[in-house]
Amino acid sequence: MSEPTHPLVPQPCTLVIFGGSGDLARRKLIPAVYNLLLDGILPPNYAILGNGRTPLSDADFRQTAREAIAKYSRQKISEKVWPDFERRLFFVAGSLQDPKAYKALRQRLEQIETDLKLPGNRIFYLAIPPTSIADAVEGLRSAGLVQPPSSEGPFSRVIVEKPIGRDLDSARKINEAVSRVFDESQIFRIDHYLGKETVQNLLVLRFANSIFEPIWNYKFIDHVQITVAEAEGVGTRATYYEEAGTLRDMVQNHMLQLLCLVAMEPPTDLGADSIRDEKVKVVRSLRRYAPQQVGTYVVRGQYTAGAVSGKPVVGYREEEKVNPNSETETYVALRMLVDNWRWSDVPIYVRVGKRLPKSATEISVHFKRAPMVLFNRDSTALDQNVLVIRIQPDEGISLRMMAKIPGTSLRIEPVKMDFHYGTSFGKASPEAYERLLLDAMSGDPTLFARRDEVEEAWAFIDPIEHAWSQKENAPPLSFYPAGSWGPEEADELLANDGRTWRRL
C-alpha cells in the first residue's frame, strides 16, 4: 500500500477543552485523543486541559475520562498505556464570563507546559454554546493566551463547534468575534461529518477513478438522494432542539457539506483552500426558494407516538422539556437544484429525520435508464444503475447494475457489486473526531469549514426558516408516526417528479 502524499505530522501541543466536563468532551473528544495515542499517531508530547464551571480536581477529571473511554472508545483501555495518558490530563474550573478565570487558566497552562516541557503550542476547543463563543475568545485575548500566526513561534489555534449561530446575522457576529482574536488560518470550524472516512473517500471515488468523472453530470445522472436517518429521538437534547430544529441542526451544516462533496468541481490541487473554494461555489449555486416555493419544495415534519425496533416511543411533543404545542421540526426533506452546467436540472433530494426505522447515512447517485430499444419486446423494465456511498453504520460503496439471469431465456435482473471498508482493509475506520483533532494538531484545515462557506449556507437556509415562521400562509407542519420513514408529503415530493425514495 502506498504511503500518503502528504502525511499528517501532529505537533506537540496542549488541547484546552472549554466545556471539558460536558457531554461532547466525554463521549467524543477525550476518547478520540486516547485512540490516536493507541494508534501511535499522537505527538510524543501533549497535554489535555479541561475547563468548565464544574469544580473538578485533576483526579476527578482523570476518573471521569477513564469512565468515558471505557464506555465510548472504539478501543479498550490499555493498562500499559493508561498511566502516562492519565498524568497528562488536567482540569481548571472557571466561568466563561469571569476575567479572573482566564488568568487562572493561563497560570495553569504555563505550569503544565513547564512541567511537561511543552513548546507552548495550544489548541482551544470551544465545546460551548454559540452564545458563549464571543466571551471565550475575548477572555483568551485579554489573558494573552493567543499568539499571532507565525512560522517560527508556538502556534495558537481555535476549534469552533457547530452550530455557528442560528441564522446568517448571528453567524456573522460569531465569525467577527472570533476573527478579532484569531487569524482565519488559525480558525478550525468543525463539522464531524467531514471527518468520516467514507465522506473523505468521495473525492477519491470521483476524481481518482476515470470511470465516474466523465459521467458525473446532467447527461448521465437522473437525480441524487442524500439521507441521514436517525432511530433515536431528541433524548437529552430537547432544550437545544426546541431552539434549533432539524433544519438548523442538520441541513445547514452536515447535509450541505455532503451535497458540496457530491456536486463540487475538481479542485486545482488538494490544498485546503482549493477544495474549499469549490465547495463554496456549490453553495452559491444552490437555487434559492421564493417564499411561495418553500411549501412546494421543502417538507417539515414532526414525529408522533409510534414504535421503533418494536419498542413503543412517545411523540416529540410528549418528550421531556418539549413544549406540548411545539412547532419544531424533527424531519426535513428538500428538493434542491444546483444551477451550474454540470448539474443543470438534476434534482438533489435531501432528507433527514429522527425516530425513523433505523439509523443510517448514505448518498445514492441514480443514473438515467438505458434506452429500451434492445429489450422493448420484453415486459422487463430496466432499473436505474445506482451508486450508493454508505457513510454509516456499514461504511462502503455499492453499485447496482443489470445482469442476465442464467438460463435459455433472456431475463434481466439487478445485481449489486459491494465494497465494505471493514472487510477490505481489515481494520475499523477511525472515528470522525480522531481525524479532525489530528488535522488541527497538524495545521491542516481541509476538512474544516471556511467562514464564507458557513455564511453562504446560512444565506440558503434563512429564507426557509423565515417562510416557516410567518403567522399567516406559513407552510404546514406535517406529522409522521415514530418508526415510519417520514411524512407522506416527503414521498409526494419525489412522486411529483415520478421518483421514489431509495429503501435503506
Q: Are 205 and 138 contained in the same domain? A: no
Helix (H, G, I), strand (E, B) or coil at 30: helix
The alpha carbon dihedral of 165, 169, 175, 177 has a sign of negative
Q: Which residues pair with 6 in a beta bridge?
A: none
In a domain, 6, yes or no: no
Q: Are 267 and 135 contained in the same domain? A: no
Distance of CA 270 to the CA centre of its chain: 20
Q: Are 408 and 262 contained in the same domain? A: yes
In a domain, 56, yes or no: yes
- pLDDT tens digits, one per residue of 74-119: 999 999 999 999 999 999 999 999 999 999 999 999 999 999 999 9
Q: Which CATH number belongs to the domain containing residue 18 in this structure? A: 3.40.50.720
Q: Are 52 and 142 contained in the same domain? A: yes
Q: Are 206 and 287 contained in the same domain? A: yes
- Count: domains in the chain: 2
- Percent of the chain having pLDDT more than 70? 94
**Of the candidates 483, 434, 329, 463, which has an alpha carbon nearest to the alpha carbon of residue 69?**
434
- Rounded CA-CA distance 114/303 in Å is 54
Q: Which domain holds residue 298?
A: 195-495
**Lowest-confidence range among 137-146, 189-198, 219-228, 341-350?**
189-198
Here the cell at position 50 is 479541561
Q: Is the pLDDT confidence value at 64 over 80?
A: yes
- pLDDT tens digits, one per residue of 254-297: 899 999 999 999 999 888 889 999 999 999 999 999 999 999 99
Q: Is the pLDDT confidence value at 5 over 60?
A: no
**Lowest-confidence range among 168-172, 242-246, 269-273?**
269-273
Q: Are 131 and 209 contained in the same domain? A: no
**Residue where one domain finishes, among candidates 161, 187, 203:** 161
Q: Is the pLDDT confidence value at 193 over 80?
A: no
- Rounded CA-CA distance 84/92 in Å is 20
pLDDT of residue 381: 64
Q: Are 230 and 371 contained in the same domain? A: yes
Q: Are 152 and 295 contained in the same domain? A: no
Greater confidence (425 vs 437) lies with 437
Q: Are 330 and 436 contained in the same domain? A: yes
Q: Is the pLDDT confidence value at 388 over 60?
A: yes
Please report which confidence band the pLDDT of residue 142 belongs to, taking 50, 70 and 90 as the band edges. very high
In a domain, 334, yes or no: yes
**Residue where one domain finishes, among candidates 109, 136, 161:** 161
Q: Are 274 and 422 contained in the same domain? A: yes
Cβ atoms 437, 48 nearer than 8 A: no
**Of the candidates 47, 211, 30, 191, which has an alpha carbon nearest to the alpha carbon of residue 119?**
47
> Running DSSP on this structure, what letter comes out for residue 14?
E
| Terminal C-alpha separation, the chain | 32
In a domain, 4, yes or no: no
pLDDT of residue 42: 92
| Highest-pLDDT range among 169-178, 192-201, 431-440 | 169-178
Give catalytic residues, as residue numbers. 254
For the chain, helix, strand, coil in percent to 5 are 40, 20, 40
Q: Is the pLDDT confidence value at 4 over 50?
A: no
Q: Are 258 and 406 contained in the same domain? A: yes
pLDDT of residue 7: 60
What average pLDDT score do residues 208-213 get? 90
Q: Which CATH number belongs to the domain containing residue 420 in this structure? A: 3.30.360.10
Q: Are 319 and 429 contained in the same domain? A: yes
Q: What is the mean pLDDT of the chain?
A: 90
| E strand segments, 108-255 | 122-126, 156-161, 187-190, 221-229
What average pLDDT score do residues 200-221 get? 90
pLDDT of residue 269: 86
